Each structure stands twice: as structure tokens, then as C-alpha cells.
Structure 1
């Protein structure tokens, strides 16, 4: 008896495009415009012709990948997942790490692709939304803040952005812990007693 196997259903066009874009972004970060459709196809595990059926040409794919890379929605979603019950120091550290990853990726993409490769469709303003998300995470600690939470968020963004640009930090790199302490205590403030004790113990080791 001959056993019949059903053929796998082809992916919807949108899903196939997403898969190809996910594969091309790291290649663009590494090779820029020099990346070939064969390299993209190999990375995505597809035939080269599939790229042209999904996007028409390489340039359309590149533009779609850059637009995805600049999309702020994934960052906002990650920030919104920060647990407000975490210690304040941990929340500040997570915000800095997420922002540095975001800005570092943008700076790197622009350096290899050129400043003219921003998405064609303008990204709507999201600064107030970002500030609101961070403010929500910091809400349980408002009594510890010297600034309104909505004003703290832009300050953290400014620090994260400036420390994500290699030319600004190559000579004097800063760790995430150092930036977290700076956000919380500036250059003359005093940490909470338990943090000060932990820092002293770590230094003594």
C-alpha cells in the first residue's frame, strides 16, 4: 500500500516576508549594501528566487528590513514588560540596557548603510509614549525621585543614547552599573544604605 504524504502548506506572503527580513537584518549590519541575494537566501534557508517573489527586488527588501529595524514598537513592548515591583536600581538598569541596545543597533545600521537609509514613511512621535511607559514602571518609587517620572525618562534616554555612540565612549567606556548609579545618585548623591554596604563589600573583595 502506497502511503501518501500531504505537502506542507506554503507560508503566507506576510510570514515569508517576515522570515526573510529577520534573516537579512544581521547581514545588513555586517555587510551593508554589499550583501547579495544569495547570501540572504542562504541565511534564510530559502531559494534565491523566493526573495524576488516576496519583495520584487533586493532594494525593496533592504528598505523593508531597515524600516523594521527602526520600528520603536518592540522597544516599547519590552519596556512595558518591566515589573514595577522590582527594586528601583534594577528597573533603571533594565531601561538603560534596552535603550542602549536600541540606539546601538540604530547607530550601527546607519554607519554601514548611510544616513540616507532611514525609512521612507515617517515614524510618528513616540517620546511621550516612551516617557509614560517608564513612568508607569517607576510609579512605586516616586517618593525616592527628585524629578517627576516623566522627566526622568528623557534623562535616561539621553544618557543611554550618548553612551551608545562609539566615538563618545571608546576612550572612557562606562558599565551599565556605573550609568545606573549615575542616574540614581548623580556625582554627589548618596545611595541607599543597603546599596552602599553592598558596594563597599564588593570593593573589599
Structure 2
């Protein structure tokens, strides 16, 4: 007798923790895009599962959104984005990529915080910004002789610029700054000399 469990063509059931992670991976981008307006149908379609499976894994939508927010705020997400930047890329390109990673984070954070009402309670992370500085220092290692500031100071500047340009009234201006334009500003200033002395 063939049972539902061993029916041909049916994928084996995932352990609950693996299923929860799969659902969270699908929910985080939806939460960033739609906030708390994301529907269980959208979640199920993105995860490739039935709506009932979503609720069996998390109980209710509020618990799922809270878990997705905590996953979003995991600092390793940003660090992995920074680690993917090739130190051998041109300096302007690296700065633009760093700004893109940080702006994506800040833009998403504003939407996620609005969805959950506040930033979720996270476990304290030791030296979070300094760890990012360590990664950025490795990214800029080939350019060390050209840099006027230490990596920690550059990281702070890039965070400030990325955050300010992610705030809706600024980012939704008639002509918002692109990541490349902000990188040009950081690398060359506002003189328009592109690094060439006047």
C-alpha cells in the first residue's frame, strides 16, 4: 500500500526548523517591499508552499513578521554583502558598492521597523560597526596609500551618507542621488576635478 509519505514524486517533508528558515528567506524581501501589508498568499507563493503550511510553521502572521524582522536585522546580512565586494575593483566602484549595501539595509530597515512598530529586540553584538570597518579596511587595502582617512572614519562617513540618502523625504526627491553619484562625491569631493589637481 502506497502512503502519502512515500508516494512517488512527492518531496520528503522538511524538518520544522528548515521549513521555517525557507519561509523566512521568502518573507524578508516581501516585508521590505510591502511592510505589514504582505499577505499570507504572497508569502506562500514566494515560498512555494500552501498557506496552511505558513501558519503551521509560525502560528500567526504577527509571529512570522516578527521572526522575519529579526532575520532582517541580523548584522551578518550586511557583512556578507560587504565581503562580496572585490578589493581589486576600482576605488569608485567599491565605494558605490558599499553605499549600495548600506542604502539597501537602511531603506529596508525603515520599512521593516514601520511594519513591526519598532526594531525587534536583538542580542547585543560586540563591536558591530568596528567589524564592518575591519571588512571595509580589507576592501580598501589596495588603495591604502591614496586614502586620507582610516577605515573606521571612512565607514562612519559612508554610513552617514547612506542613511541620510535612505530617508524617504531625501531619497524620494525629484532627482535622488544614485549610488555612483554618492561614490563620486566621497572619492572626488565636489570640485569636479575627478581627482586631477586644478
Structure 1 length-normalised TM: 0.80
Q: RMSD in angstroms over aligned alpha carbons?
A: 2.5
Contiguous gaps of at least 5 residues in structure 2: 1-6
Check whether the contact 1:99–1:157 (CA below 8 A) recurs between aligned residues.
Answer: yes
Name the residue aligned to 2:61: 58
Name the residue aligned to 1:203: none
Distance 1:177 1:40 in 2: 33
Structure with greater proportional helix content: 1
Q: Which runs of 4+ in 1 moved over 4 A?
A: none
Change (3 A) 1:152 1:26: closer
Name the residue aligned to 1:199: none
Alignment map for 1:154-193 (pairs within 5 Å): 154-169=156-171, 170-188=173-191, 190-193=193-196
Change (3 A) 1:103 1:48: same
Match of 2:144 among 142, 145, 150: 142
CA offset digits 1:161-197 (Å, max 9, x no partner): 110112123155212222111111222374235xx9x
1:99 Cα deviation from its structure 2 partner: 1.0
CA offset digits 1:46-74 (Å, max 9, x no partner): 23332232223322211111111111212
Check whether the contact 1:139–1:149 (CA below 8 A) recurs between aligned residues.
Answer: no
Change (3 A) 1:10 1:155: same
Distance 2:174 2:20 in 1: 41
Structure 2 length-normalised TM: 0.83
Distance 1:136 1:27 in 2: 32
Distance 2:30 2:19 in 1: 17
Provide the secondary structure at the position in 2 that maps to 1:33: helix
Provide the secondary structure at the position in 1 that maps to 2:49: coil
Name the residue aligned to 2:17: 14
Check whether the contact 2:78–2:105 (CA below 8 A) recurs between aligned residues.
Answer: yes
Match of 1:67 among 70, 79, 84: 70
Distance 1:17 1:69 in 2: 14
Distance 2:50 2:154 in 1: 49
Change (3 A) 1:17 1:151: same
1:10 Cα deviation from its structure 2 partner: 0.9
Alignment map for 1:79-118 (pairs within 5 Å): 79-111=82-114, 113-116=115-118, 118=119
Q: Name the larger-Rg structure.
A: 1
CA offset digits 1:132-162 (Å, max 9, x no partner): 1001110111111111122111111111111
Contiguous gaps of at least 5 residues in structure 1: 197-205
Q: Which moved more, 1:53-62 or 1:82-91?
A: 53-62
